[in-house]
Structure 1
Amino acid sequence: MFAIKFVAVGGLLLLPFAASMPTYSSSQPICDVANFDNYPVSIVNVNYIDEYKNIFWQGMTVGSSTLQLTGVKAHSGDNVASLHFADSKTDTFDLYSFAYGCALPTLQGAVAVPSKCTITVKGYFDSGDSVEKQVTYDPTGPDQQMVGTPDGLFSNFKNLKEVTLQAGGILGGSALVVGLIDDVCFVPKLKGE
């Protein structure tokens, strides 16, 4: 299975919240929200993200739901990140939530087909211990909205060293599905805090 790891880097940025940002429950802290909407896109996912909002997203690309006739629509704005690529390393942060969806791997061109999948989210602590949760995306048609993770799902994803995301399709293999994420809500932990 392909896995994606994302990491906190650098200092904390205080960013204004825009109308396109999702509203989170009162149980969540004020998060940095990575929605990828100000990142450049192309018809074929060739724009690798690298560092964005203090997180290192090595191996992930950005796609736009406005370039599609069908497919998984972004949770907010137009852009989403794709999780069908290589790994990277991390610093510590708390993960709170994200929006997600899956599609068949059609290079996210004009026609994308939403696909049922399970995304496994695994958080690793500095001690080597880990915690794991799964979410399932089950689209009902060719033009679907992403869904958000349930409130409190990641309540034990605190002070993480690394997070991996693995998208598995209905036949089990990650090569048969592309995982998509948007509006990642996280709080970076700076060294010395």
Structure 2
Amino acid sequence: MKTFASILPLGLAGLAAAHPAVEARDRPTRTGKVNGQQVVSYVAKFDDVVNTGLAPGVPVRGITPLGPYDSLYYDNLGVINDGAALAGVKPFSKPNVLAYDIVAEGQGQQTIRADYDDSITDFFNFKSFYFGCVLSTQETADSAPLNCQVQIQGYRNQQQVASQVATFTTDGLASSMDKVTLNSGFSNVDQVTFDTQGLNALLAGVLLDNLAYDVHLKKGKTIS
């Protein structure tokens, strides 16, 4: 199993960090078979990732990348508890969200991938997710919502096969997340990356929730 050093996103330091699961319990919402490969559907909410017990608003040293979760691997993306924030962006499902900011970006590319140690996933179809952005500040978790753009790119065998830009627009002091439905190019990918763009790229902390995707397992592999 690969291990990673902790990352220290200053802008998200006011949110309570969650300990990443070594390999989260698989919770498929639906299973089937296509071309002899088992297909497993997920909506990754991250709410079962164990929290440190700190309340939102209490500074912590940093966030550890999530690692393996629901049959995929999350690089340089951490899980934080945002369930009690009074301002900012409301999680689509409380209390946890996936998150990164400019400091986390400095640690490496924000990536979700099928290939990792002991993986039984061949490729996946990335269908949708919810997201929003907050002003990156070390002082408080209850940060102001911030308009932002995130570019999502899909890869297959190290070749880019899909790209889409998602735009978040604030709708108040406590904004709701926007849903992003991905185009058909994100089918049969083995890696997806996230990059913050636009005028607010250096200021934004990006929060992601309820990632919907189907994984195609390697032939002969199953999840009960």
TM over 0.5: yes
What is the TM-score normalised by the length of structure 2?
A: 0.65
Query: How do residues 23-172 of structure 1 correspond to structure 2 at under 5 angstroms?
Result: 31-41=41-51, 42=54, 43=56, 44=60, 46-84=63-101, 85=104, 86-87=108-109, 88=111, 90-91=113-114, 92-107=123-138, 109-126=140-157, 128-150=159-181, 153-169=182-198, 171-172=199-200
Counterpart amino acid of 1:90? R
State the partner residue of 1:180: 207
State the partner residue of 2:14: none
1:59/1:81 CA distance change after superposition, 3 Å: same
What stretches of structure 1 of length at least 5 have no aligned partner? 1-9, 18-28
Shift of 1:135: 1.1
- State the structure with more CA Rg: 2
**Does the aligned pair in 2 maintain the 1:99–1:182 contact within 8 Å?**
yes
Name whichever structure is richer in strand by fraction: 2
Number of corresponding residues? 168
Distance 2:203 2:210 in 1: 24
Counterpart amino acid of 1:126? N
What is the TM-score normalised by the length of structure 1?
A: 0.75
Shift of 1:90: 2.5
Where relative contact order (Cα < 8 A, 6+ residues apart) is larger, the structure is 1
**Does the aligned pair in 1 maintain the 2:29–2:42 contact within 8 Å?**
no
What stretches of structure 2 of length at least 5 have no aligned partner? 1-22, 31-38, 115-122
Distance 1:144 1:97 in 2: 19
Is the deviation greater in 96-105 or in 47-56? Answer: 47-56
**Does the aligned pair in 1 maintain the 2:40–2:215 contact within 8 Å?**
no
1:192/1:121 CA distance change after superposition, 3 Å: same
